Structure formats: C-alpha cells, structure tokens
Amino acid sequence: MAFENSIATTYEPRTNWVAKPLNKTGDLEGWLSKMNRACPNPVLGEIVWLKSSYGSTSYKAMKFRTNGDVIWQRGEVIREIKEVVNH
C-alpha cells in the first residue's frame, strides 16, 4: 500500500486515544522505515496520520526503547463533544 504525504500533529491532553490494533504480521522493517520517513523525530505522545487511497491511519508514539527507537500504537483520536446549553 503506497502512502501519500503524511501529516503529524502533537497529542493534546484533552483528547482521548483508543487503541485499534490490527494484530497482523508482515514486513515490520518496511513499516518502521515508513514511520521513520513520516515522522523522523517524534516526541512522546505525538500522533501521526498516514494517508492512503483507503483513508488514513493514526499512530501514537507511546514510548521509546533504550536505543531510542519509538514504540508506535495504532489507534484513533476521540475528541470530546461539548454540549452548549443556553439558559
């Protein structure tokens, strides 16, 4: 699957994150290389969206290994909807 330009944004504390793992096996090295190209210097909590012809997939930088490699989690951003009540 070819990915177009990726969009990265920083995680906001008031945004909820829900993990959505695929539990697939495949070309891990190729995927890690793709993530490195999309976001070469992630910060903890950063969310990266990868766009494709099928839509977009989001990944969050969850933590870092001792060698500096990032551990990504596939998931979805859930934004709170605030109700406006007029009195």
Residue 2 lies in a domain: no
User: If you compute the radius of gyration of the chain from its CA atoms, what whole number of angstroms results?
Assistant: 15
Distances (CA, A) of 84 to 2, 38, 81, 87: 42, 37, 9, 10
Residue 72 lies in a domain: yes
Give the burial class of 85: count Cβ atoms within 10 A of its Cβ; 0-12 exposed, 13-18 middle, 19 or more buried: exposed
Give me the number of domains the chain comprises: 1
- pLDDT tens digits for 67-86? 999 999 999 877 655 555 55
Q: List phi, psi (to 5°) of 66.
A: -60, -25
Residue 28 lies in a domain: yes
Residue 36 lies in a domain: yes
Residue 37 lies in a domain: yes
Q: How many whole angstroms separate alpha carbon 16 and alpha carbon 78?
A: 5
Domain that holds residue 56: 7-78
Residue 60 lies in a domain: yes
- pLDDT tens digits for 22-58? 877 888 898 899 899 888 999 888 888 888 777 788 8
Residue 87 lies in a domain: no
